[in-house]
Chain A
Amino acid sequence: MDLWFTEKHTDNVKLSIKVDRQVYSAQSEFQRIDIFDSLEFGRFLTLDGYMMLTEKDEFIYHEMIVHVPMAILPQVNKVLVIGGGDGGAVRELVRYPEIQQIDLVEIDAQVIEACKKYLPQTAAKLDDPRVTIHEADGLKFVRSKKDEYDLIIVDSTDPFGPGEGLFTKEFYGNCFKALTETGAMVNQHESPFYPVDAIAMQRAHKRIVDSFPISRVYQAHIPTYPSGHWLFGFASKHYHPLQDFDAQKWKARNLKTRYYNDKIHVGAFALPNYVKLLLEEME
């Protein structure tokens, strides 16, 4: 049998992964959810046909979206995760004992259920007592919050479909308001490589720059995302991602990670010239 999952990365480029079997498929109120088993990437989750995570490479994304801000901010007690129903970001967050409260806001409860059942690798820590799950629209949830969170992680899907609202200026502005005076926001920032993604990336950057005094972009290599070259945004009211990065303190925690380390932290903020140009155009 020759069964393949294919995602179009552009009109002219496709990525195909050989599928061993389909594990789950459902149409929720918001999107189509599928989970497959593959030989190369293990189990993987797609939403509306777009790759969200694979067991093989999800550690890169989740480590980079969590450990980078956690190594910069000196004291994080309360965290808001928007999106991220797969639980990967939460899994990394619960490793920090000083975090007292994690609010996870996911619009699609069915994603959480499916991941709890079929993707324990990422979802296992969603039951941690510090975690509260809110089934809500992220944009609506942050609207009423003020001066509340030390860190907001925007683990969104792409800027079309249910994740649309999480790439808007009103959303970033609402996040600014929801953060404490020294808080910071990290977001999934799309890719600089293919033009369509690059435009979305530039738009997001422009809106974040307009909303936050400090805004820096960092990168990681994620094999199953379009072009493999992926960006994250670090937007902050007070702390600078490199000047306030305390490598010794982070190393002293002795957290075992597979991708992130103190040298990667610094290196990830060093961007290729073409990416710097795309970002500067927006600043």
Chain B
Amino acid sequence: MNLSQERAPVLEALNRYKAMRVVPFDVPGHKRGKGNRELTDFLGEKCLTVDVNSMKPLDNLCHPVSVIKEAEELAAEAFGAKHAFFMVNGTTSAVQSMVMSACKRGEKIIMPRNVHRSAINALILSGAIPIYVNPGVNHELGISLGMSVADVKQAILENPDAKAVLINNPTYYGICSNLKAITELAHQHNMLVLVDEAHGTHFYFGEGLPASAMSVGADMAAVSMHKSGGSLTQSSLLLVNGLSEGYVRQIINLTQTTSGSYLLISSLDISRRNLALRGRAIFEKVAQMAEYARAEINQIGGYYAYGRELINGDSIYDFDRTKLSVLTRDIGLAGIEVYDILRDEYDIQIEFGDIGNILAYLSIGDRIMDLERLVSALSEIKRRYAKDRTGMLSQEYIRPEVILAPQEAFYAASESTRLEDSLGRICGEFVMCYPPGIPILAPGEKVTAKVLEYIQYAKEKGCFLTGTQDSHVNAIQTVKE
């Protein structure tokens, strides 16, 4: 096959299918929306007429042989991969499929600790054992960085039996490790390289952006098309270079729905086409908007919108200039407080705020006039709310003390323990702020005084804590002693 990137096989098939006016005696039961008026009024008839079931003319996501296969091939070509899988259960399922394809129970995987919860979830599902590499930390910003090559090397030498290395490319804040060097290093030691590119879709289509996983020969990458790629929420890609397509598909099908949504699938197809044809121009514009906003925010004073000047050749090997992250601590406000004020008082919703920073997510959907609003609101927040910064906690990387493997701890007999009584116990579940969804505690880790202080502070500042059975996060499950 040699289709051009101008084609969109799933979209075309759905259009053909609509024109056939087939009478549906199959699921979904809303029957092109006629059976659910309120839903159709809300979402629109166009949307419901393509919410259809797998069938011969439309292929089947679990075992593609026609239009989905073609669309996946086009995506693979656009991203420079051997194969691309369309994923309909988020990048979460892409990350989990990567880990489960690379490691079986008891096998080791090297990863930084500042991974998304989906990566550690995968360890619970598979029984793989994490070997954590401490990410570098920037003390001024209070954020975790990438992994240094030397630290990865040490982990590899100490664990020659590890099966894979997992890398964030980039982190939520836009920071990249030296992906190429780490990939080569891992390959020299016969380890697979798995890359979480939830925030890196645009790396495949921009100029002057960090290297993408496929471009440096990594084996798999989980790519959130629904983030910078513009597809519908929950749609994602799993890119594969080094493994057997058939085996990876079997792993995906362990947990994937048999009713893949054509809204999601077609959104992947259409977005891939858009990126392949126009991606370069699109992301150049986004990068320019981000640079503009950075300069304007830095002019206000008190805020620090950071950029490529952070690059240090190792733990910040590269920085994604389309990202707009801002240190707020110097105006005496936690990032989460600025995040709340922006929404409550200025009707501006940003991606997240943590202890010291905010992150505004920019994309092709943004307009300069909206950026002016964001910058002006930040200027106003400083004028109206700035206070002394003493007493503010700097966000430190807390080195985890891993006592049990995540799967073992998660399935161990556990009991609900009040936070204040949990010091020294082994945690049986996750505790994290969402977003960014990076665990503060993961199953199998020891509850330390530092962790407890951090959780308390995050709560006080209004972070949205999740992961625990107790919805108020006053108690956590700890392993019975």
Which residues of A line the B interface, CB within 8 A?
Answer: 137, 139-140, 143-144, 162, 164-165, 168-171, 173-174, 177
Residues of A within 8 Å of B373, CB to CB, are 139, 165, 168, 170
Residue from the list B296, B299, B376, B383 in contact with A171, Cβ < 8 A: B376
Query: Cβ of A173 and Cβ of B380 under 8 Å apart?
Result: yes
Residue from the list B299, B369, B372, B383 in contact with A173, Cβ < 8 A: B383
Residue from the list A143, A144, A165, A169 in contact with B369, Cβ < 8 A: A165
Q: Kindly state the separation between the CA atoms of A195 and B147 in the bound complex, as whole angstroms.
A: 57
Q: Kindly state the separation between the CA atoms of A143 and B299 in the bound complex, as whole angstroms.
A: 10
Contact with A along B295-312 (1 / 0, CB 8 A): 010010000000000000
B346 contacts partner chain A, Cβ-Cβ < 8 Å: yes
Query: Cβ of A165 and Cβ of B372 under 8 Å apart?
Result: yes
Looking at A137, A143, A174, the one whose CB has the most chain B CB atoms below 10 A away is A143
Residue from the list A143, A165, A168 in contact with B379, Cβ < 8 A: A143
Q: Kindly state the separation between the CA atoms of A171 and B376 in the bound complex, as whole angstroms.
A: 7
**Cβ-closest chain B residue relative to A140:** B372
**B59 shortest CB reach to chain A, Å:** 42
Query: Cβ of B372 and Cβ of A174 under 8 Å apart?
Result: no
Query: Cβ of B383 and Cβ of A137 under 8 Å apart?
Result: no
B460 contacts partner chain A, Cβ-Cβ < 8 Å: no
Residue from the list B345, B376, B383 in contact with A140, Cβ < 8 A: B376
Query: Cβ of A168 and Cβ of B346 under 8 Å apart?
Result: yes
Could you list some 23 contacts between A and B, CB below 8 A? Answer: A137-B368, A139-B369, A139-B373, A140-B296, A140-B372, A140-B376, A143-B375, A143-B379, A162-B369, A164-B369, A165-B369, A165-B372, A165-B376, A169-B377, A170-B346, A170-B376, A170-B380, A171-B376, A173-B383, A173-B384, A174-B376, A174-B379, A177-B383
Residues of A within 8 Å of B346, CB to CB, are 168-170
Query: Cβ of B372 and Cβ of A169 under 8 Å apart?
Result: no
**Cβ-closest chain B residue relative to A172:** B380
Residue from the list A137, A140, A162, A170 in contact with B377, Cβ < 8 A: A170
**Cβ-closest chain A residue relative to B299:** A144
Q: Kindly state the separation between the CA atoms of A18 and B308 in the bound complex, as whole angstroms.
A: 58
Contact with A along B355-374 (1 / 0, CB 8 A): 00000000000001100110
Secondary structure at chain B's binding surface: helix, strand, loop or mixed?
A: helix
Residue from the list A137, A143, A169 in contact with B345, Cβ < 8 A: A169
Looking at A137, A168, A170, A173, the one whose CB has the most chain B CB atoms below 10 A away is A170
Residues of B within 8 Å of A168, CB to CB, are 346-347, 373, 376-377
Q: Kindly state the separation between the CA atoms of A144 and B383 in the bound complex, as whole angstroms.
A: 12
Total CB contacts across the A-B interface at under 8 A: 47
Q: Kindly state the separation between the CA atoms of A177 and B380 in the bound complex, as whole angstroms.
A: 9
**Cβ-closest chain A residue relative to B368:** A137
Query: Cβ of B376 and Cβ of A139 under 8 Å apart?
Result: yes
Query: Cβ of A137 and Cβ of B379 under 8 Å apart?
Result: no
Contact with A along B48-64 (1 / 0, CB 8 A): 00000000000000000
Q: Kindly state the separation between the CA atoms of A165 and B372 in the bound complex, as whole angstroms.
A: 8
Q: A140-B296, A144-B299, A162-B369 are in contact. List 11 more A-B contacts (CB 8 A).
A: A137-B369, A139-B376, A143-B379, A165-B372, A165-B376, A169-B345, A169-B380, A170-B373, A170-B376, A171-B376, A174-B379
Interface size class of B (residues with CB under 8 A): 10 to 19
**B93 shortest CB reach to chain A, Å:** 38
Q: Kindly state the separation between the CA atoms of A72 and B36 in the bound complex, as whole angstroms.
A: 60
**Cβ-closest chain B residue relative to A141:** B372
Residues of A within 8 Å of B377, CB to CB, are 168-170
Q: Kindly state the separation between the CA atoms of A174 and B373 in the bound complex, as whole angstroms.
A: 11
**B49 shortest CB reach to chain A, Å:** 26
Contact with A along B201-238 (1 / 0, CB 8 A): 00000000000000000000000000000000000000
Residues of A within 8 Å of B369, CB to CB, are 137, 139, 162, 164-165
Q: Which of B8-23 contact A (CB under 8 A)?
A: none
Q: Kindly state the separation between the CA atoms of A165 and B373 in the bound complex, as whole angstroms.
A: 6
**B238 shortest CB reach to chain A, Å:** 40
**Cβ-closest chain B residue relative to A173:** B380
Query: Cβ of B372 and Cβ of A139 under 8 Å apart?
Result: yes
Contact with A along B326-355 (1 / 0, CB 8 A): 000000000000000000011100000000
**B455 shortest CB reach to chain A, Å:** 33
Contact with A along B99-113 (1 / 0, CB 8 A): 000000000000000
Q: Kindly state the separation between the CA atoms of A164 and B345 in the bound complex, as whole angstroms.
A: 16
Q: Kindly state the separation between the CA atoms of A143 and B380 in the bound complex, as whole angstroms.
A: 9
**Cβ-closest chain A residue relative to B377:** A170
Residues of A within 8 Å of B372, CB to CB, are 137, 139-140, 143, 165
Contact with A along B111-139 (1 / 0, CB 8 A): 00000000000000000000000000000
Q: Kindly state the separation between the CA atoms of A145 and B345 in the bound complex, as whole angstroms.
A: 22
Residue from the list B347, B368, B376 in contact with A143, Cβ < 8 A: B376
Residues of A within 8 Å of B296, CB to CB, are 140
Q: Kindly state the separation between the CA atoms of A173 and B377 in the bound complex, as whole angstroms.
A: 9
Among all A-B residue pairs, the 4 with the closest Cβ atoms: A170-B376, A170-B377, A173-B380, A139-B372
Residues of A within 8 Å of B380, CB to CB, are 169-170, 173-174
Q: Kindly state the separation between the CA atoms of A208 and B379 in the bound complex, as whole angstroms.
A: 17
**B407 shortest CB reach to chain A, Å:** 49
Residues of B within 8 Å of A171, CB to CB, are 376
**B101 shortest CB reach to chain A, Å:** 48
Q: Kindly state the separation between the CA atoms of A60 and B30 in the bound complex, as whole angstroms.
A: 56
Q: Kindly state the separation between the CA atoms of A1 and B209 in the bound complex, as whole angstroms.
A: 59
**A209 shortest CB reach to chain B, Å:** 13
Q: Kindly state the separation between the CA atoms of A168 and B373 in the bound complex, as whole angstroms.
A: 8
**B333 shortest CB reach to chain A, Å:** 16
Q: Kindly state the separation between the CA atoms of A187 and B141 in the bound complex, as whole angstroms.
A: 41
Q: Kindly state the separation between the CA atoms of A144 and B376 in the bound complex, as whole angstroms.
A: 9
**B19 shortest CB reach to chain A, Å:** 33
**Cβ-closest chain A residue relative to B345:** A169
Q: Kindly state the separation between the CA atoms of A169 and B376 in the bound complex, as whole angstroms.
A: 9
Q: Kindly state the separation between the CA atoms of A168 and B376 in the bound complex, as whole angstroms.
A: 10
Residues of A within 8 Å of B383, CB to CB, are 173, 177
**B421 shortest CB reach to chain A, Å:** 44
Residues of B within 8 Å of A174, CB to CB, are 376, 379-380
